[in-house]
Amino acid sequence: MKKLIVAALAASVAVSALTTAAFADGKKIGVSWASFQEERWKIDEAAMVKAIEAAGNTYVSADAESSSAKQLTDIEALITQGVDALIINAWDKDAIGPAINAAANEGIPVVGYDRLIEDARTFYLTFDNIGVGRIIAESVKAVQPEGNYAIIKGDPGDPNAAFLLQGMMEVIGDDVKSGKIKIVGEAFSDSWKPENAQKNMEQILTANDNNVDAVLSENDGMAGGVVAALSAQGLVIPVGGQDGDLAAINRVARGSQTVSVWKDSRDLGKAAGEIASALAEGASLDSIKGAVKFSGGAKGVEMNAILLKPTPLTKANLSVAIDGGHISKAQACEGAIDGVDGC
Protein backbone atom coordinates (compact mmCIF):
# COMPACT_ATOMS: atom_id res chain seq x y z
CA MET A 1 0.00 0.00 0.00
CA LYS A 2 2.81 2.36 0.92
CA LYS A 3 4.50 1.54 -2.38
CA LEU A 4 1.29 2.45 -4.24
CA ILE A 5 1.03 5.74 -2.38
CA VAL A 6 4.68 6.55 -3.06
CA ALA A 7 4.20 5.63 -6.72
CA ALA A 8 1.11 7.81 -6.95
CA LEU A 9 2.93 10.71 -5.33
CA ALA A 10 5.86 10.25 -7.69
CA ALA A 11 3.50 10.22 -10.67
CA SER A 12 1.78 13.33 -9.36
CA VAL A 13 5.10 15.12 -8.95
CA ALA A 14 6.13 14.06 -12.45
CA VAL A 15 2.91 15.38 -13.99
CA SER A 16 3.26 18.58 -11.99
CA ALA A 17 6.83 18.98 -13.18
CA LEU A 18 5.78 18.42 -16.80
CA THR A 19 2.94 20.91 -16.47
CA THR A 20 5.23 23.50 -14.91
CA ALA A 21 7.77 22.91 -17.65
CA ALA A 22 5.09 23.32 -20.29
CA PHE A 23 4.09 26.67 -18.85
CA ALA A 24 7.71 27.68 -18.45
CA ASP A 25 8.35 26.86 -22.12
CA GLY A 26 5.55 29.18 -23.21
CA LYS A 27 6.78 32.40 -24.77
CA LYS A 28 5.76 35.93 -23.91
CA ILE A 29 4.66 38.07 -26.87
CA GLY A 30 4.69 41.81 -26.27
CA VAL A 31 2.48 44.10 -28.33
CA SER A 32 2.87 47.87 -28.55
CA TRP A 33 -0.19 49.62 -29.99
CA ALA A 34 0.16 53.12 -31.43
CA SER A 35 -3.35 54.11 -30.37
CA PHE A 36 -6.65 52.35 -29.73
CA GLN A 37 -8.83 55.17 -31.11
CA GLU A 38 -9.73 53.17 -34.23
CA GLU A 39 -12.63 50.73 -33.92
CA ARG A 40 -10.70 48.08 -35.84
CA TRP A 41 -7.79 47.63 -33.40
CA LYS A 42 -10.02 45.78 -30.92
CA ILE A 43 -10.80 43.27 -33.67
CA ASP A 44 -7.11 42.89 -34.52
CA GLU A 45 -6.27 42.36 -30.87
CA ALA A 46 -8.88 39.67 -30.25
CA ALA A 47 -7.60 37.58 -33.17
CA MET A 48 -3.99 38.18 -32.14
CA VAL A 49 -4.59 37.07 -28.55
CA LYS A 50 -6.39 33.94 -29.73
CA ALA A 51 -3.50 32.95 -32.03
CA ILE A 52 -0.85 33.66 -29.39
CA GLU A 53 -2.65 31.66 -26.72
CA ALA A 54 -3.33 28.82 -29.18
CA ALA A 55 0.45 28.52 -29.56
CA GLY A 56 0.78 28.18 -25.78
CA ASN A 57 2.15 31.68 -25.37
CA THR A 58 1.18 34.75 -23.36
CA TYR A 59 0.00 38.12 -24.68
CA VAL A 60 1.08 41.34 -22.97
CA SER A 61 0.41 44.80 -24.39
CA ALA A 62 0.65 48.55 -24.00
CA ASP A 63 -1.17 51.47 -25.63
CA ALA A 64 1.05 54.40 -26.65
CA GLU A 65 -1.99 56.69 -26.81
CA SER A 66 -0.73 58.51 -29.93
CA SER A 67 2.61 59.39 -28.32
CA SER A 68 5.99 58.48 -29.81
CA ALA A 69 7.68 59.07 -26.47
CA LYS A 70 5.24 56.84 -24.61
CA GLN A 71 5.64 54.13 -27.20
CA LEU A 72 9.40 54.03 -26.64
CA THR A 73 8.83 53.82 -22.89
CA ASP A 74 6.20 51.13 -23.38
CA ILE A 75 8.53 48.99 -25.48
CA GLU A 76 11.35 49.42 -22.98
CA ALA A 77 8.97 48.16 -20.28
CA LEU A 78 7.92 45.18 -22.41
CA ILE A 79 11.57 44.26 -22.97
CA THR A 80 12.19 44.54 -19.22
CA GLN A 81 9.27 42.13 -18.66
CA GLY A 82 11.20 39.58 -20.68
CA VAL A 83 9.16 39.31 -23.87
CA ASP A 84 10.42 36.81 -26.44
CA ALA A 85 9.03 38.68 -29.46
CA LEU A 86 7.50 42.08 -30.13
CA ILE A 87 4.63 43.16 -32.36
CA ILE A 88 4.84 46.91 -32.91
CA ASN A 89 2.09 49.04 -34.42
CA ALA A 90 4.28 52.14 -34.76
CA TRP A 91 2.94 55.60 -34.10
CA ASP A 92 5.88 57.26 -35.87
CA LYS A 93 8.02 55.39 -38.40
CA ASP A 94 11.15 57.42 -37.62
CA ALA A 95 10.83 57.87 -33.86
CA ILE A 96 10.51 54.11 -33.35
CA GLY A 97 14.17 53.52 -34.31
CA PRO A 98 15.63 53.38 -30.77
CA ALA A 99 13.08 50.72 -29.80
CA ILE A 100 14.14 48.52 -32.72
CA ASN A 101 17.77 48.91 -31.68
CA ALA A 102 16.93 48.02 -28.09
CA ALA A 103 15.05 44.90 -29.19
CA ALA A 104 17.88 43.86 -31.52
CA ASN A 105 20.42 44.27 -28.73
CA GLU A 106 18.40 41.81 -26.64
CA GLY A 107 17.91 39.41 -29.54
CA ILE A 108 14.16 40.01 -29.58
CA PRO A 109 12.52 39.62 -33.02
CA VAL A 110 10.07 42.32 -34.13
CA VAL A 111 6.97 42.26 -36.31
CA GLY A 112 6.08 45.66 -37.75
CA TYR A 113 2.29 45.50 -37.61
CA ASP A 114 0.17 47.20 -40.29
CA ARG A 115 2.47 50.24 -40.39
CA LEU A 116 5.88 50.04 -41.99
CA ILE A 117 8.98 50.13 -39.81
CA GLU A 118 11.61 50.35 -42.52
CA ASP A 119 14.31 48.22 -40.94
CA ALA A 120 15.56 44.89 -42.26
CA ARG A 121 15.58 43.54 -38.70
CA THR A 122 11.77 43.65 -38.59
CA PHE A 123 9.15 41.50 -40.30
CA TYR A 124 6.56 43.65 -42.12
CA LEU A 125 2.96 42.43 -41.89
CA THR A 126 0.13 44.41 -43.42
CA PHE A 127 -2.50 44.47 -46.09
CA ASP A 128 -1.42 45.71 -49.51
CA ASN A 129 -1.99 49.39 -48.80
CA ILE A 130 -0.98 50.54 -52.27
CA GLY A 131 -3.58 48.06 -53.52
CA VAL A 132 -6.11 49.50 -51.06
CA GLY A 133 -5.50 52.98 -52.48
CA ARG A 134 -6.05 51.62 -55.98
CA ILE A 135 -9.33 49.98 -54.97
CA ILE A 136 -10.64 53.16 -53.32
CA ALA A 137 -9.87 55.21 -56.45
CA GLU A 138 -11.17 52.54 -58.86
CA SER A 139 -14.46 52.25 -56.99
CA VAL A 140 -15.05 55.99 -56.85
CA LYS A 141 -13.91 56.55 -60.43
CA ALA A 142 -16.32 53.86 -61.63
CA VAL A 143 -19.27 56.01 -60.53
CA GLN A 144 -17.63 59.44 -61.00
CA PRO A 145 -15.11 59.18 -63.87
CA GLU A 146 -14.44 62.92 -64.12
CA GLY A 147 -14.81 66.20 -62.30
CA ASN A 148 -13.47 67.81 -59.13
CA TYR A 149 -11.88 65.41 -56.65
CA ALA A 150 -10.77 65.98 -53.07
CA ILE A 151 -8.26 63.72 -51.33
CA ILE A 152 -8.37 63.39 -47.55
CA LYS A 153 -5.11 61.85 -46.38
CA GLY A 154 -4.14 60.31 -43.04
CA ASP A 155 -1.44 61.33 -40.60
CA PRO A 156 1.72 62.64 -42.32
CA GLY A 157 3.93 60.53 -40.02
CA ASP A 158 2.33 57.25 -41.10
CA PRO A 159 3.86 55.59 -44.21
CA ASN A 160 0.45 54.13 -45.03
CA ALA A 161 -0.77 57.60 -45.96
CA ALA A 162 1.85 57.71 -48.72
CA PHE A 163 1.18 54.13 -49.83
CA LEU A 164 -2.55 54.78 -50.12
CA LEU A 165 -1.99 57.99 -52.09
CA GLN A 166 0.41 56.15 -54.40
CA GLY A 167 -2.25 53.58 -55.18
CA MET A 168 -4.87 56.26 -55.77
CA MET A 169 -2.65 58.17 -58.18
CA GLU A 170 -1.88 55.00 -60.12
CA VAL A 171 -5.59 54.97 -60.97
CA ILE A 172 -6.39 58.65 -61.50
CA GLY A 173 -2.96 60.07 -62.33
CA ASP A 174 -3.37 60.06 -66.11
CA ASP A 175 -6.83 61.63 -65.83
CA VAL A 176 -5.40 64.34 -63.60
CA LYS A 177 -2.70 65.07 -66.18
CA SER A 178 -5.28 65.24 -68.98
CA GLY A 179 -7.59 67.49 -66.96
CA LYS A 180 -10.42 64.97 -66.93
CA ILE A 181 -10.10 64.88 -63.14
CA LYS A 182 -9.09 67.97 -61.19
CA ILE A 183 -7.84 67.69 -57.62
CA VAL A 184 -9.37 70.74 -55.96
CA GLY A 185 -8.24 69.93 -52.44
CA GLU A 186 -5.77 67.61 -50.73
CA ALA A 187 -4.96 67.60 -47.02
CA PHE A 188 -3.36 65.48 -44.32
CA SER A 189 -5.49 64.78 -41.24
CA ASP A 190 -3.42 64.62 -38.06
CA SER A 191 -3.76 61.35 -36.16
CA TRP A 192 -6.29 60.09 -38.74
CA LYS A 193 -8.96 61.76 -36.62
CA PRO A 194 -12.45 62.11 -38.13
CA GLU A 195 -12.83 65.60 -36.70
CA ASN A 196 -9.64 66.73 -38.45
CA ALA A 197 -10.84 65.19 -41.70
CA GLN A 198 -14.18 66.96 -41.30
CA LYS A 199 -12.44 70.32 -40.85
CA ASN A 200 -10.29 69.65 -43.91
CA MET A 201 -13.36 68.78 -45.97
CA GLU A 202 -15.23 71.85 -44.76
CA GLN A 203 -12.31 74.04 -45.84
CA ILE A 204 -12.15 72.37 -49.25
CA LEU A 205 -15.88 72.85 -49.77
CA THR A 206 -15.64 76.52 -48.78
CA ALA A 207 -12.67 77.12 -51.08
CA ASN A 208 -14.54 75.59 -54.02
CA ASP A 209 -18.07 76.91 -53.36
CA ASN A 210 -19.15 73.29 -52.74
CA ASN A 211 -18.14 72.35 -56.29
CA VAL A 212 -16.67 68.94 -55.38
CA ASP A 213 -17.77 65.81 -57.24
CA ALA A 214 -15.98 63.01 -55.37
CA VAL A 215 -13.78 62.38 -52.34
CA LEU A 216 -11.01 59.84 -51.83
CA SER A 217 -10.63 59.37 -48.08
CA GLU A 218 -7.79 57.21 -46.81
CA ASN A 219 -9.83 55.50 -44.11
CA ASP A 220 -13.39 55.00 -42.90
CA GLY A 221 -13.13 57.08 -39.75
CA MET A 222 -12.13 60.09 -41.82
CA ALA A 223 -14.77 59.22 -44.42
CA GLY A 224 -17.29 59.65 -41.61
CA GLY A 225 -15.97 63.17 -41.04
CA VAL A 226 -16.13 63.84 -44.77
CA VAL A 227 -19.74 62.66 -45.00
CA ALA A 228 -20.65 64.86 -42.03
CA ALA A 229 -19.18 67.90 -43.80
CA LEU A 230 -20.97 67.02 -47.03
CA SER A 231 -24.29 66.39 -45.28
CA ALA A 232 -24.11 69.79 -43.60
CA GLN A 233 -24.14 71.28 -47.11
CA GLY A 234 -26.84 68.95 -48.40
CA LEU A 235 -24.40 67.09 -50.63
CA VAL A 236 -24.32 63.39 -51.47
CA ILE A 237 -21.35 62.50 -53.68
CA PRO A 238 -19.12 59.43 -54.09
CA VAL A 239 -16.82 58.91 -51.08
CA GLY A 240 -14.27 56.14 -50.72
CA GLY A 241 -12.70 54.78 -47.55
CA GLN A 242 -11.16 51.68 -46.03
CA ASP A 243 -11.10 49.50 -42.89
CA GLY A 244 -14.56 47.94 -43.00
CA ASP A 245 -15.73 50.01 -40.02
CA LEU A 246 -19.28 49.04 -39.07
CA ALA A 247 -20.52 52.62 -39.43
CA ALA A 248 -18.89 52.84 -42.86
CA ILE A 249 -20.55 49.63 -44.04
CA ASN A 250 -23.90 51.08 -43.01
CA ARG A 251 -23.04 54.30 -44.89
CA VAL A 252 -22.43 52.17 -47.98
CA ALA A 253 -25.88 50.63 -47.50
CA ARG A 254 -27.42 54.08 -47.03
CA GLY A 255 -25.67 55.42 -50.14
CA SER A 256 -23.52 58.09 -48.49
CA GLN A 257 -20.25 56.17 -48.96
CA THR A 258 -19.34 54.37 -52.18
CA VAL A 259 -16.84 51.82 -50.93
CA SER A 260 -15.18 50.62 -47.75
CA VAL A 261 -12.17 48.47 -48.49
CA TRP A 262 -12.40 45.71 -45.90
CA LYS A 263 -9.09 44.53 -44.53
CA ASP A 264 -10.32 41.67 -42.38
CA SER A 265 -8.50 42.52 -39.18
CA ARG A 266 -9.12 39.02 -37.89
CA ASP A 267 -6.83 37.64 -40.60
CA LEU A 268 -4.13 40.23 -39.87
CA GLY A 269 -4.25 39.74 -36.11
CA LYS A 270 -4.17 35.96 -36.45
CA ALA A 271 -1.18 36.13 -38.79
CA ALA A 272 0.68 38.44 -36.41
CA GLY A 273 0.13 36.12 -33.46
CA GLU A 274 1.32 33.12 -35.44
CA ILE A 275 4.36 34.87 -36.92
CA ALA A 276 5.46 36.37 -33.60
CA SER A 277 5.09 32.98 -31.91
CA ALA A 278 7.22 31.34 -34.61
CA LEU A 279 9.89 34.04 -34.32
CA ALA A 280 9.88 33.69 -30.53
CA GLU A 281 10.65 30.00 -31.01
CA GLY A 282 13.70 30.90 -33.09
CA ALA A 283 12.38 30.94 -36.67
CA SER A 284 14.27 33.28 -39.00
CA LEU A 285 12.50 36.18 -40.69
CA ASP A 286 12.87 34.65 -44.14
CA SER A 287 11.56 31.24 -43.07
CA ILE A 288 8.03 32.47 -42.35
CA LYS A 289 5.56 30.75 -44.67
CA GLY A 290 4.27 33.11 -47.34
CA ALA A 291 7.00 35.71 -46.80
CA VAL A 292 8.10 37.76 -49.79
CA LYS A 293 10.74 40.43 -50.26
CA PHE A 294 9.41 43.99 -49.91
CA SER A 295 11.39 47.14 -50.71
CA GLY A 296 8.66 49.67 -51.39
CA GLY A 297 9.44 52.01 -48.49
CA ALA A 298 10.93 55.49 -48.80
CA LYS A 299 14.45 54.17 -48.16
CA GLY A 300 14.14 51.12 -50.37
CA VAL A 301 15.22 48.76 -47.57
CA GLU A 302 14.60 45.12 -48.50
CA MET A 303 12.53 43.36 -45.86
CA ASN A 304 10.73 40.09 -45.32
CA ALA A 305 7.01 40.72 -45.50
CA ILE A 306 3.50 39.39 -45.95
CA LEU A 307 0.96 41.64 -47.67
CA LEU A 308 -2.59 40.34 -47.31
CA LYS A 309 -5.26 40.96 -49.95
CA PRO A 310 -8.16 43.31 -49.07
CA THR A 311 -11.83 43.12 -50.14
CA PRO A 312 -13.81 46.12 -51.46
CA LEU A 313 -17.31 46.41 -50.01
CA THR A 314 -19.87 48.21 -52.15
CA LYS A 315 -23.65 48.05 -52.34
CA ALA A 316 -23.17 45.24 -54.89
CA ASN A 317 -21.47 42.81 -52.45
CA LEU A 318 -22.25 43.92 -48.91
CA SER A 319 -23.39 40.40 -48.08
CA VAL A 320 -19.72 39.36 -48.03
CA ALA A 321 -19.21 41.17 -44.72
CA ILE A 322 -22.54 40.00 -43.34
CA ASP A 323 -22.03 36.36 -44.28
CA GLY A 324 -18.46 36.55 -42.99
CA GLY A 325 -19.72 37.46 -39.53
CA HIS A 326 -18.03 40.87 -39.54
CA ILE A 327 -21.31 42.74 -39.16
CA SER A 328 -24.91 41.74 -38.53
CA LYS A 329 -27.55 42.27 -41.19
CA ALA A 330 -29.40 44.63 -38.85
CA GLN A 331 -26.30 46.79 -38.37
CA ALA A 332 -25.38 46.79 -42.03
CA CYS A 333 -28.82 47.37 -43.49
CA GLU A 334 -30.44 49.93 -41.21
CA GLY A 335 -31.83 52.68 -43.45
CA ALA A 336 -30.49 50.96 -46.58
CA ILE A 337 -31.38 52.26 -50.02
CA ASP A 338 -32.91 49.94 -52.61
CA GLY A 339 -30.73 47.40 -54.38
CA VAL A 340 -28.13 46.79 -51.69
CA ASP A 341 -26.81 43.22 -51.75
CA GLY A 342 -27.58 41.35 -48.54
CA CYS A 343 -30.24 43.82 -47.44
pLDDT of the chain, 343 residues: tens digit per residue: 333 333 333 333 333 332 223 334 699 999 999 998 777 799 999 999 999 999 999 999 999 999 999 999 999 999 999 999 999 999 998 999 999 999 999 999 999 999 999 999 999 999 999 999 999 999 999 999 999 999 999 999 899 999 999 999 999 999 999 999 999 999 999 999 999 999 999 999 999 999 999 999 999 999 999 999 999 999 999 999 999 999 999 999 999 999 999 999 999 999 999 999 999 999 999 999 999 999 999 899 999 999 999 999 999 999 999 999 999 999 999 999 999 999 9
Q: 226-230 long-range contacts, Cβ below 8 Å, gap at least 24? A: 226/152, 226/197, 226/198, 226/201, 227/251, 227/256, 227/257, 228/194, 228/198, 229/198, 229/201, 229/202, 229/205, 230/201, 230/205, 230/256
Contacts of 70 (CB under 8 A, 6+ apart): 64
pTM of the full structure = 0.80
Question: Can you tell me the distance from the alpha carbon of 269 to that of 49, in angstroms, rounded to the nearest whole number?
Answer: 8
Q: Answer yes or no: do 154 and 33 share one domain.
A: no
Pair 109, 158 in one domain: no
Q: Does residue 190 form part of some domain?
A: yes
- Note whether residue 321 is domain-resident: yes
Same domain, 303 and 317: no
Do 15 and 95 fall within a single domain?
Answer: yes
282 and 229 both lie in a single domain: no
CATH classification at residue 19: 3.40.50.2300
Residues 122 and 134 in one domain: no
Question: Total structural domains in the chain?
Answer: 2
Kindly state whether residues 224 and 316 are assigned to the same domain.
yes
In this structure, is residue 249 part of a structural domain? yes
The residue segments making up the domain with residue 106 are 2-127+265-308
**C-alpha to C-alpha distance for 127 and 267, rounded to whole angstroms:** 10
Maximal C-alpha separation, the chain: 95
- Does 295 lie in the same domain as 277? yes
259 domain residue, yes or no: yes
Cα separation of 243 and 310, whole Å?
A: 9
Residue 116 to residue 32: CA distance in whole angstroms: 14
* Residues 203 and 320 occupy one common structural domain: yes
Does residue 215 share a domain with residue 85? Answer: no
